Each structure stands twice: as structure tokens, then as C-alpha cells.
């Protein structure tokens, strides 16, 4: 999913208009590649449980949002755990349909409200969310941009949990830096991101690194199976998406100690 941001960021108007059709095809190929997967990014249910165990100040029936929910691994986990309603936001109808099917299969449909919209334009009532959850999706607005866009939604003392891909060190190997310049130019270190948190009306309660095993077991592993079944596709755009995903995986395999996802647990202050 990483390359998508580079395309979106590198295209300006009017070039954007010219390439819009290509971009739309790219997004559709990306969605097709991720179809049927439980997750569209790295994560792990046991690790999510661990993250929740670090939070003590939530109301019994929190008002929850999962932003950039994809097919809803996070939304379903939260609905089940809190038996509370979850607003699940994504701009892909296809992923939201998968989430609705899964919610039905698990008897959780009464707790899931799917909302097809842009995560950067949520016109919800201010201060209406007690627990904001977003895994692997904030980068679409940049981490700083997501904090700014979502802070007004937070209830007093509300908790936000955002998993963000970041550097684990300021000494980043050249191949990683070069790749990120294209894929995610605004990627920061944990301490840079902590600075954004502190200047955005949040207080950091903790920063926790998602183990790399969760990338392989729950995301890249299943994704590779989809790649294998689509590798003979006649669509050239699908071939590009598969090649770029291979490149992304190889980079992570070789350099996983330098970057990855960190969960930021934050309290609205
Ligand atoms: C890497 S996936 C993570 C999905 C899910 N949270 C998970 O961990 O499985 C990022 C998700 O953000 C969604 N997305 C990207 N840009 C968006 C936007 N501007 N508004 C709403 N959703 C967006 C994508 O459709 C995708 O489902």
C-alpha cells in the first residue's frame, strides 16, 4: 500500500487530472490484490490487546472510530472487545462490504457502522469520540496531518491509538532513505512524531513497536498468496503493483530493524 502515497503526492494539478484515470486503475489493482485478506496492513490482534491493556481511562461504553479501517480487522476487534458501536471509515466501498460481511458472520453487525468517505474530511460533531483507532492508515494524511484533522473529534480526555510507519533510528541505511523519499517522504522518527503529538493537543501515553513477525504472519504472508494467484494477470498495472509490493517486502526483509510501525497511544488534553 505504500506506493499509493507516492503517486498521490507526486502528482499535482493539472498533471493529476491527466493521470487520474491511471491512478484510479492503480488503486483498483491495489484493492484487488488485497481482496479477501483479513488485514490490508501490518497488525496483530494479540498486540492490539496488549495496546488496550496499556489504557486505563476509557468509559465503559466508549464511542469508537476506526479510521482507514480497510476490511475491518481493527473495527471488529474493538466492537467485540467493548460491545460498543464502532464507526468504521474507509474510502473503499469494496473493503467496507467485506467488513459488513465479516460483521454478519461474527454476529457483530449491530455494532458496526460503515462510513464510506475521505478520512481527511470527517464532518462529525466535535468531541464525539472516546477511542479513536487507526492502524496503518494515518500516513494518507501524513501523521501530523492526521493528528490535526482528528483532534477536534476527540472527547475530553479521549484516547487515540494510531499505528504509524516510522524510523526506529536516525541512522537510516541509504536504500531505505531512498525508497522512503519516494514512498513516504514525510516519514519521521519516533521522537519527531512525539513532537507532532505534543504540539497537536495530545499527550503521549506510550509508543510501542509492532513486532516484525506481525508483518510477515498477518500481512505479507497472506498478501504473498494473493500475489501468487494474480501473478499471471494480463493487466500490466497489476504486474506493476505486484513488482512494487515485492520490492517493498524485500526492503523490509533486509532492513526491518530500522523502520516499522509504532503504536502511539495518546490522550487528548
Ligand atoms: C494500509 S490499509 C490499513 C487498513 C486497516 N486499518 C488494517 O490495518 O488492516 C489503509 C486503508 O486506508 C484507506 N484509505 C486510504 N486513504 C484514505 C482516505 N483518504 N480516506 C479514507 N480511507 C483511506 C485504504 O482504503 C485502506 O483500507
Closest-CA residue, ligand 1 atom 19, reads 118
CB of 137 closer than 6 angstroms to any ligand 1 atom: yes
Calpha distance 10→114 (Å, rounded) = 30
41 lines ligand 1 (CB under 6 A): yes
Task: State the CATH number of the domain containing residue 256.
Answer: 3.40.50.150
Q: How many residues does the chain have?
A: 269
Residue 248, pLDDT > 60, answer yes
Q: φ, ψ for residue 157 (rounded to 5)? A: 65, 15
Classify burial at 110, counting beta carbons within 10 Å of its beta carbon; exposed 0-12, middle 13-18, buried 19 or more: exposed
H/E stretch holding 115 reads strand 112-116
In the prediction, which pLDDT does 3 show?
53
102: left (phi over 0), alpha (psi -120 to 50) or beta: alpha
Cα-to-centroid distance, 5 and ligand 1 (Å): 11
Asked if residue 68 has its Cβ within 6 Å of ligand 1, the reply is: yes
pLDDT of residue 57: 83
Asked, for residue 32, whether it belongs to a domain, the answer is no
Is there an atom of ligand 1 within 6 Å of 201 CB? no
Ligand 1 contact via 260 beta carbon (within 6 Å): no
**Cβ contacts of 170 within 8 Å, gap of 6 or more:** 189
Q: For residue 183, is it within any domain?
A: yes
| CB 40 less than 6 A from any atom of ligand 1 | yes
**Integer angstrom CA distances of residue 249 from 45, 52, 98, 144, 195:** 21, 28, 25, 26, 29
The per-residue pLDDT of the chain, averaged, comes to 93
Asked if residue 99 is part of any domain, the answer here is yes
Residue nearest to atom 25 of ligand 1 (CA): 92
- Does ligand 1 lie within 6 Å of residue 77's CB atom? no
Q: Which atom of ligand 1 is nearest to the CA of 41?
A: 1
Q: What is the pLDDT of residue 7?
A: 44
pLDDT tens for residues 82-95? Answer: 999 999 999 999 99
Long-range contacts of 103-107 (CB under 8 A, 24+ apart): 103/72, 103/76, 103/79, 106/76, 106/80
Q: Write the pLDDT tens digit of every residue in 13-59.
A: 344 454 678 888 999 999 999 999 999 999 999 999 999 999 998 99
Residue 190 has pLDDT above 70, yes or no: yes
| Over residues 67-81, mean pLDDT | 98
Q: Which ligand 1 atom is nearest residue 92's CA?
A: 25
Q: Could you tell me if the CB of 90 is within 6 A of ligand 1?
A: yes
| Range(s) of the domain holding residue 178 | 38-46+60-117+125-210+247-268
pTM above 0.85, yes or no: yes
Three cell numbers written together for 162 = 494510531
Dihedral sign for Cα 225, 228, 230, 235, please.
Answer: positive
Does residue 19 belong to any structural domain of this protein?
no
Asked if residue 240 is part of any domain, the answer here is: no
pLDDT at 80 over 80: yes
Question: Does any domain span residue 98?
Answer: yes
Q: Look at the chain and report how many structural domains it folds into.
A: 1
Cβ atoms of 79 and 111 within 8 Å: the answer is yes
For the Cβ of 91 lying below 6 angstroms from any atom of ligand 1, the answer is yes
3-state class (DSSP) for residue 143:
helix
pLDDT at 72: 98
Lowest mean pLDDT among 1-10, 13-22, 44-53, 115-124: 1-10
Which atom in ligand 1 lies closest to the alpha carbon of residue 1? 1
Percent of the chain with pLDDT over 90: 90
Regarding the beta carbon of 70 and ligand 1, being less than 6 Å apart is answered yes
Peptide bond into 106 cis (omega under 30): no
Q: Where are the alpha helices (DSSP H) in the chain?
A: 2-10, 15-34, 45-53, 73-82, 93-105, 143-150, 174-183, 190-198, 212-215, 221-230, 236-255
Residue 196 lies in a domain: yes
Amino acid at each position: 500500500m505504500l506506493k499509493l502515497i507516492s503517486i498521490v503526492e507526486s502528482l499535482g494539478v493539472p498533471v493529476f487530472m491527466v493521470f487520474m484515470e491511471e491512478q484510479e486503475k492503480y488503486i483498483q489493482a491495489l484493492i484487488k490484490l488485497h481482496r479477501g485478506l483479513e488485514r490490508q496492513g501490518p497488525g496483530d490482534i494479540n498486540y492490539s490487546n496488549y495496546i488496550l491493556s496499556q489504557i486505563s481511562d476509557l468509559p465503559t461504553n466508549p464511542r469508537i472510530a476506526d479510521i482507514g479501517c480497510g476490511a475491518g480487522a481493527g473495527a471488529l476487534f474493538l466492537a467485540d472487545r467493548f460491545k460498543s458501536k464502532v464507526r468504521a471509515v474507509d474510502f473503499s466501498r469494496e473493503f467496507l462490504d467485506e467488513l459488513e460481511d465479516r460483521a454478519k458472520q461474527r454476529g457483530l453487525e449491530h455494532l458496526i457502522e460503515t462510513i464510506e468517505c475521505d478520512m481527511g474530511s470527517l464532518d462529525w460533531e466535535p468531541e464525539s469520540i472516546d477511542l479513536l483507532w487507526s492502524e496503518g492508515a494515518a500516513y494518507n494524511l501524513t501523521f501530523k496531518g492526521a493528528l490535526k484533522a482528528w483532534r477536534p473529534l476527540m472527547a475530553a480526555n479521549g484516547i487515540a491509538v494510531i499505528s504509524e510507519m516510522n524510523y526506529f533510528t536516525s541512522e537510516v541505511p541509504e536504500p531505505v532513505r531512498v525508497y522512503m523519499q519516494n514512498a513516504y517522504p514525510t516519514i519521521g522518527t519516533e521522537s519527531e512524531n512525539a513532537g507532532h503529538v505534543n504540539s497537536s493537543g495530545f499527550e503521549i501515553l506510550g509508543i510501542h513497536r509492532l513486532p516484525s513477525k506481525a508483518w510477515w504472519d498477518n500481512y505479507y504472508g497472506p498478501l504473498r498468496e494473493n500475489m501468487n494467484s494474480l501473478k499471471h494477470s494480463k493487466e500490466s498495472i497489476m504486474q506493476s503493483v505486484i513488482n512494487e509490493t515485492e520490492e517493498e517486502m524485500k526492503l523490509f526483509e533486509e532492513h526491518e530493524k530500522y523502520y516499522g510501525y509504532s503504536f502511539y497511544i495518546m490522550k487528548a488534553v
